[in-house]
Structure 1
Amino acid sequence: MIIEAIELQDYRNYDSLSLRLNPGTNIFYGDNAQGKTNLLEAVFMASTSKSYRMSRDRDLIRFGAEEAHIKMTVRKRGVPYRIDLHLKKNKTKGIAIDEVPIRKASELFGIANVVCFSPEDLSLIKDGPAMRRRFLDLELCQLDRLYLHDLTCYNRVLNQRNRLLRDILYKPSLQDTLSAWDKELTDYGGRIIEARARFIERLGRRTAELHSSLSGGRERLILSYEQSVSAAEFGEKLTAIRAAELRQHISLLGPHRDDIRFMINERDIRKFGSQGQQRTAALSLKLSEIELVRELLDDSPILLLDDVLSELDSKRQNYLLKTLRDTQNIITCTGLDDFIENRFHIDALFRVEEGRVEMGMETMPQKTGQSRKT
């Protein structure tokens, strides 16, 4: 799958932009705060309806404008798709696929599968569990529509159940309705737990192999799913903690409280790992994500790399660049030295300056390595 073109209007610092992309490696370079990351964010938005920077829709609209548009053309197994996003300051975003409006943003998932890697992802291990759950959910939602449905329903039930737990404080008779919400919570939550467990098991095998290579065979990384409750015991344990939930007015069990554990030599590197171990584990995790998506979809995802190379040493830079094969890559950077030093082939070069994008092929370094197939 590839992105053929993207158009922006009043998005972030872009007044108007129309751009065709190469099916291979596209490099966007320029100084900081010129709009490079905004381009990657727009691609991610058009693929998932969400910003990987977790921004509100109104914050994506150019200052002084009332609305913004993202239009993206994707070709998947030879079939073209046109995705249109209409962002409004005070209304829900509008989304259309091939000019047909869709009712739910979730219908967008799976058309363009993207893997995004930003400097923030290198902190994925040491950040809180919410970030790791978000990583899981974003990837699984792109790969599995049933998971997307279950997660959407689970979050709706969870919010309503938490509201009920608060309301019971003022109206105790409402407690009689809690069991109905318990049933829905455990049904949807159980399927989410099982899907996450399967995904992490497969992801963990690849991550262990990659981490061993990156660490020169000195470390063995083990991923495991840290569940607050198993799917089989969810209903029973939820009943057992009813009194505690009524006291605290919040749901205390379920996949919304789960995490991923990262162990190296029997040490939990979330708490006790060095910064180097945490960053290497995060890199292994993202590279494994790419491989697993390839396997599950029998197709390569679109890779978005947001100024990641500057955060890695030369060994890890080289390892990352070697994985960018048979995929469309959209990469941002401030300079081209890292690509020259790693003898990396560039298919299309763009210079970004103050919300303007210009082709930069005339300044592209000479080919110093073998071109990969696209």
Structure 2
Amino acid sequence: MFIEYLSLADFRTYPQLGVALGPGVTVFVGANGIGKTNIVEAIGYLSSLSSHRVSSDAPLVRFGTGQALVRARIVRGQQATSLELELNPGKANRARINRANPVRAREILGILRTVLFAPEDLALVKGDPSSRRRFLDGLLTSLVPHHAATRSDYERVLRQRNALLKSARSAGRFTSSHESTLEVWDHHIAQAGAALVKARLELVQLLQPRVARAYGALADGSKLARAVYRSTLVGQLSDEGGPEPGLQEPAGGDGGLAGLDLEQLRNRYLDALRQQPRREVERGISLVGPHRDELELWLGPAPAKGYASHGETWSLALALRLASYYVLGEDEQVSGSTPVLILDDVFAELDTQRREKLAGIVAGAEQVLVTAAVAEDIPAALRGGQLTVVPGGVFDGRQTA
């Protein structure tokens, strides 16, 4: 899979931009703040409907305008597909496939697959659990697009249940009316939550060997990298509502949840909820569920967060992205699905050894898009076509880097 052409209208700093691309490596070179990341951010957004830099759409639309357009022509095998996405802050985004009538934006999920590496990826290891949950759910949606609806359903029910809990807290007492209504929402959230947890568990089983493989290729191989899904359906809750942290990986990794079917997970969820009503009312929030779960990352005998060195942290963050690339590229349900690899200003952050190892691993991808402030930061294995980014545009023509 590769992007043949990209055009932007009123996206970030670009009133208009058109860039011809192709298979192999393309390096966008330009000074910091010039707009290199804006280009690859648009590609990432077209793929995932989310940005790796901001959580809302408004900053993506050029200041003073009301709408942004991202268009691309995608080639997968022998088939070319045109995508168009309208970003309408405050309103529903819309999309077109092959210039057909507009559809909901999420209808385009799965057509363009990308894996984006960026300096922000350090948060996958050092950040709070929400960063790792977003990582899982983003990859899940890329792999199985209908899981965007799974996550949306869960978030909708969670908001409704939390509103009820806040109402009970404001009332100062937990009445029989609250209790009966909460029981109804418990069944709704258990059904939606079980579906999301099951999908995440299956994804972590796919990721685990590939994370270990990628980390071994990037680091010296003396430590085994592991990813363990920790659920609030297993064990005690911490004061924050998530699983109690510890220095020992839980027996069985996921606590045996991976062996349960959807109905068994739902029942486990209901059992966990029934132990929490008073505590949840006191807090005014739901304390059990995938919104509180954690993807624990381990290097050897210790959790990576708080124990890994800076270099180990970078290697593990890169390994998570490479594992995503392997999972998507090995998806037997979609032919020609090898993702477009995007490396956004990553090499400036890495030492020489990690630069060379990462470049050697990704150089064989069908399409690799790289941004860099200094061309010399790019390892020789990735010095393909170079485009120079200037304020508001990109130099016409491609030069050899």
2:67 aligned partner? 67
Structure 1: distance between partners of 2:63 and 2:155: 32
Checking the alignment, whether the CA contact within 8 Å between 1:11 and 1:70 is kept in structure 2 is yes
After superposition, what is the alpha-carbon deviation per residue over 1:317-347, rounded to whole angstroms, capped at 9, x for unaligned? 11111222132111111122133x534340x
2:321 is aligned with 1:317: no
Deviation at 1:81, TM superposition (A): 2.0
Checking the alignment, whether the CA contact within 8 Å between 2:217 and 2:357 is kept in structure 1 is no
What is the TM-score normalised by the length of structure 2? 0.85
Deviation at 1:266, TM superposition (A): 1.3
1:237 aligned to which of 272, 276, 287: 272
Checking the alignment, whether the CA contact within 8 Å between 1:87 and 1:94 is kept in structure 2 is yes
1:123 aligned partner? 123
Amino acid paired to 1:211: Y
1:181 aligned partner? 185
Checking the alignment, whether the CA contact within 8 Å between 1:351 and 1:360 is kept in structure 2 is no
1:302 aligned partner? 340
Amino acid paired to 2:388: R
Deviation at 1:90, TM superposition (A): 4.3
Unpaired segments of 5 or more residues in structure 2?
A: 234-256, 258-264
What is the TM-score normalised by the length of structure 1? 0.91
When structure 1 is superposed on structure 2, of 127-136 and 2-11 the one drifting more is 2-11
Structure 1: distance between partners of 2:181 and 2:207: 39
Amino acid paired to 1:38: N
Structure 2: distance between partners of 1:328 and 1:95: 24
Number of paired residues? 362
2:222 aligned to which of 208, 218, 223: 218
The secondary structure found in structure 2 opposite 1:5 is strand
Deviation at 1:79, TM superposition (A): 2.4
Checking the alignment, whether the CA contact within 8 Å between 2:218 and 2:358 is kept in structure 1 is no
2:282 is aligned with 1:278: no
2:104 aligned partner? 104
Cα separation, partners in 2 of 1:241 and 1:205, compared to 1, 3 Å: same
Deviation at 1:68, TM superposition (A): 1.9
Cα separation, partners in 2 of 1:97 and 1:205, compared to 1, 3 Å: same
Amino acid paired to 1:267: A
When structure 1 is superposed on structure 2, of 36-45 and 82-91 the one drifting more is 82-91
2:327 aligned partner? 292
Deviation at 1:40, TM superposition (A): 0.7
2:367 aligned partner? 328
Structure 2: distance between partners of 1:169 and 1:102: 43
1:357 aligned partner? 394
Amino acid paired to 1:321: A
Amino acid paired to 1:167: S
Cα separation, partners in 2 of 1:56 and 1:18, compared to 1, 3 Å: same
2:196 is aligned with 1:192: yes
Amino acid paired to 1:250: I
Structure 2: distance between partners of 1:96 and 1:167: 42
1:5 aligned partner? 5
1:372 aligned partner? none
The secondary structure found in structure 2 opposite 1:305 is strand
2:284 aligned to which of 243, 246, 249: 249
Structure 1: distance between partners of 2:381 and 2:158: 50
1:163 aligned partner? 163
Structure 2: distance between partners of 1:151 and 1:101: 26
